[in-house]
């Protein structure tokens, strides 16, 4: 944007139309987001009196840790919905920025060898026209200077949306949904997803990565539900 364009068409907040410095959320809308504070050190579910939640103690997931800035609540739900279903691809920058801010607050943070966005089934990708996880991953990979691998893993099984299923159905729906197209030899991988509604999807993908010998698996997502 040049200076004339900036004066004529100043960047506005996508939620309230207030003029912002960047094409990002204004301060007011930013403070309306539900940031996660105290949470399980593995799956990032909000908990107050422990460091690991009951579900992770009962069955440790295949990933090591999930890093997530916000709960999937309004107004973030609105941004993600517009981004995915109304093809507002420039919203990806807001989502990447939120995730990057969270990553920058991590102690002893080691960069992964690569970022793998959760793949969509090819029919879903064709229908939507893009993969939301890839769009969120692109600016992050560029900023952190990490390889973005969106081709090694595919979702060969056409799955239903996990949010409409109960716990047992979720497992059945996603089991063996992913496969590797080539041998991967990463030691440390970050898997990027937009929203984690249950741990099943990212856990299934992590299970596959473990099979290929990946030692450290982090899940990076913009939002997660509370259950
Ligand atoms: Zn605003
Ligand atoms: Zn947990």
Class of domain 36-72+89-224: alpha beta
Residue 73 alpha carbon to ligand 1 centre in Å: 16
Q: Which residues contact 71 (CB under 8 A, 6 or more apart)?
A: 34, 35, 36, 46, 223, 224, 225, 226
Per-domain residue ranges of the chain: 36-72+89-224
**CB burial class (10 A; 0-12, 13-18, 19+) of residue 115?**
buried
Nearest ligand, measured from the Cα of 42: 2
**Contacts for 8 with CB less than 8 Å, ≥ 6 apart:** none
Q: What is the pLDDT of residues 100-154, one digit of tens each?
A: 999 999 888 889 999 999 999 999 999 999 999 999 999 999 999 999 999 999 9
Around ion ligand 2, residues with a beta carbon closer than 5 Å are 40, 42-43, 53, 56
**Tens of pLDDT, residues 189-222:** 999 999 998 889 999 999 999 999 999 999 999 9
Minimum-distance ligand to the CA of 29?
A: 1
């Amino acid at each position: 944007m040049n200076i004339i364009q900036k004066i004529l068409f100043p960047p506005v907040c996508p939620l309230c139309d207030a003029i912002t410095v960047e094409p990002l959320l204004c301060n007011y809308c930013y403070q309306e987001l539900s940031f996660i504070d105290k949470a399980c050190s593995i799956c990032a579910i909000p908990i107050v009196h422990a460091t690991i939640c009951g579900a992770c103690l009962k069955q440790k997931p295949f990933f090591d840790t999930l890093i997530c800035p916000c709960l999937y609540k309004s107004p973030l739900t609105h941004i993600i919905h517009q981004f995915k279903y109304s093809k507002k691809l420039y919203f990806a920058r807001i989502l990447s920025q939120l995730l990057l801010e969270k990553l920058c607050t991590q102690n002893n943070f080691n960069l992964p060898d690569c970022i793998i966005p959760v793949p969509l089934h090819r029919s879903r990708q064709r229908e939507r026209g893009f993969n939301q996880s890839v769009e969120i991953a692109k600016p992050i990979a560029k900023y952190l200077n990490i390889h973005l691998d969106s081709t090694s893993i595919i979702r060969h099984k056409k799955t239903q949306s996990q949010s409409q299923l109960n716990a047992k159905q979720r497992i059945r729906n996603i089991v063996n949904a992913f496969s590797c197209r080539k041998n991967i030899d990463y030691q440390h991988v970050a898997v990027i997803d937009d929203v984690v509604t249950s741990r099943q999807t990212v856990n299934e993908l992590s299970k596959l990565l473990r099979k290929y010998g990946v030692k450290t698996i982090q899940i990076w997502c913009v939002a997660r539900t509370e259950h």
